[in-house]
Amino acid sequence: MQEQMPRRTFVKTAGVLATAPMLGAAGASAPAPEFVGSTVAAPARRRLGTLEVSSIGIGVQNMSRRYETTVPSRPEMHRIIRAAFDRGVTFFDAAEAYGPHEVERILGEGVAPLRNRITIATKFGWNIDQETGRRLPGLNSKPAHVKRVVDGMLTRLRTDRIDLLYQHRVDPEVPIEDVAGAIGELKAQGKVLHWGLCEMGLSTLRRAHATQPVSAVQSEYSMLWRGPEEQVLAVCEELGIGFVPWSPLGVGFLSGAIDEATRFAQGDIRGIESRFAPENLPHNLQLVALCRRWGQRKQAAPAQIALAWLMAQKPWIVPIPGTTQMAHMVENTGASDVRFTESELAELNAVVRAIEVRGQRLPDAVLAFSGVEAPLKR
């Protein structure tokens, strides 16, 4: 079901990764050699529109603050980023809103030694004060603001270009043609190479693509939330746009990290998602049991089954599991070794689709930002 895994050639210098000096905030800006590691079987490459990336990426959203509300060690986040690269992961997913701003800084520091070999994706669109990094109410995709945000991103990410820039949520006050126009100018300046949209309405996606070709859509998709199967995936296929599922592990749920006794810390968004409410957890845990059963069958971890299932749906789907733990990164990356035959996939699909997930994926106030159509240009 998945494409053949070519062996990416890295300079064979076993142990370099472990012994390389960690580059802190100051050190990372100095010219550094390209990172090297041992020769490994790496995830195959996939295409998102005209952009080629590793078939699994990594989401770095929680590298400044975990869902559980704890703050991870910054040097360890740099080590995870570089170790992911050493395992063939070249697709790193951030956003201005994560932190805000702080996650882009952590990613910029982490990838500084390997910048030219990786793909940085980040997102604009929430209304964030550019001086203070403070989050203000609502959204802001006004063209002048987007251009200012991108300049800040380039500084934080320590780079001269953003490989893939998404609109994080559709701004109901700004025609998408105006946003696409700003992206066109940023592309002409070489500051942005590709663009995409998240959680947008379908007409907005079509209008955006008609104005400035879109490389990728990023919306939630996993065994726990299969909404994109209704329409979004078909439109992506029709238009030749790649798809990047966010929360591909169901915000950790499909890995088996959550059980019916789990209760969430104050400030952990999962505590206000009714799919994780005590009355719905026992039912929804059928999906975890399914991942465990298939894990036994395929000699894989439940999280690997959840990711391999996503990648098996379409060859232009590239999940970005988020983690702040080295062992989890290694496990998640290994999902590209899990293959399903056609009959296995049909069997697994049938069981997944027979399980009706109970509860909402997000609270109403957050869901209101999804599926929004941008106003028409007058």
Is 62 a residue that touches ligand NAP (CB under 6 A)? yes
Give whichever of 42 and 303 is closer to ligand NAP, judged by the CB atom: 303
Q: What is the DSSP letter of 24?
A: -
Q: What ranges in the chain are assigned the alpha helix state H? A: 16-19, 74-86, 102-111, 143-156, 176-188, 202-211, 232-239, 281-284, 286-298, 302-313, 326-333, 342-354, 364-367
Among 49, 201, 321, 334, binds ligand NAP (CB under 6 A): 321
Is 59 a residue that touches ligand NAP (CB under 6 A)? yes
Q: Which stretch binds ligand NAP (CB under 6 A): 12-20, 143-151, 178-186, 318-326?
A: 318-326
3-state secondary structure of 338: coil
Is 96 a residue that touches ligand NAP (CB under 6 A)? no
Is 333 a residue that touches ligand NAP (CB under 6 A)? no
Q: Which stretch binds ligand NAP (CB under 6 A): 2-10, 44-52, 62-70, 229-237?
A: 62-70
- Token digits of residue 197: 């949209």
Among 96, 104, 178, 331, binds ligand NAP (CB under 6 A): 331
The CA-based angle 22-13-112, given to 5 degrees, is 35
Among 204, 332, 333, 336, binds ligand NAP (CB under 6 A): 332
CA separation for the pair 128, 245 (Å, rounded)? 24
221 is catalytic: no
CA separation for the pair 200, 160 (Å, rounded)? 28
Is 67 a residue that touches ligand NAP (CB under 6 A)? yes
Is 246 a residue that touches ligand NAP (CB under 6 A)? yes
Among 324, 333, 357, 374, binds ligand NAP (CB under 6 A): 324
Is 276 a residue that touches ligand NAP (CB under 6 A)? no
Contact flags string 7-46 toward ligand NAP, x per CB under 6 A: ----------------------------------------
Residue that has been written with the tokens 């899990």 in this structure: 338
Burial tier of 8 (Cβ tally within 10 Å: 0-12, 13-18, 19+): middle
Q: Which residue's Cβ has the minimum distance to ligand NAP?
A: 59
3-state secondary structure of 317: strand
SS percent in the chain: helix, strand, coil, step 5: 40, 15, 45
Residues 182-221 that bind ligand NAP (CB under 6 A): 198-199, 218
Among 139, 182, 183, 249, binds ligand NAP (CB under 6 A): 249
Among the listed residues 63, 81, 75, the one whose alpha carbon sits nearest the alpha carbon of residue 24 = 75
Among 291, 320, 352, 357, binds ligand NAP (CB under 6 A): 320
CA separation for the pair 118, 347 (Å, rounded)? 36
Among 119, 122, 255, 313, binds ligand NAP (CB under 6 A): 255
Decide if 300 contacts 335 (C-beta within 8 A): yes
Give whichever of 108 and 252 is closer to ligand NAP, judged by the CB atom: 252
The answer to whether the bond into 100 is cis (omega within 30° of 0) is: yes
CA separation for the pair 171, 204 (Å, rounded)? 11
The distance of closest approach from Cβ of residue 251 to ligand NAP in the complex, given in angstroms and rounded to an integer, is 5
Chain residues that interact with ligand NAP, rule: CB under 6 A:
59-62, 66-67, 93, 168, 198-199, 218, 246-252, 255, 257, 303, 320-325, 328, 331-332
Residues serving a catalytic function are 98
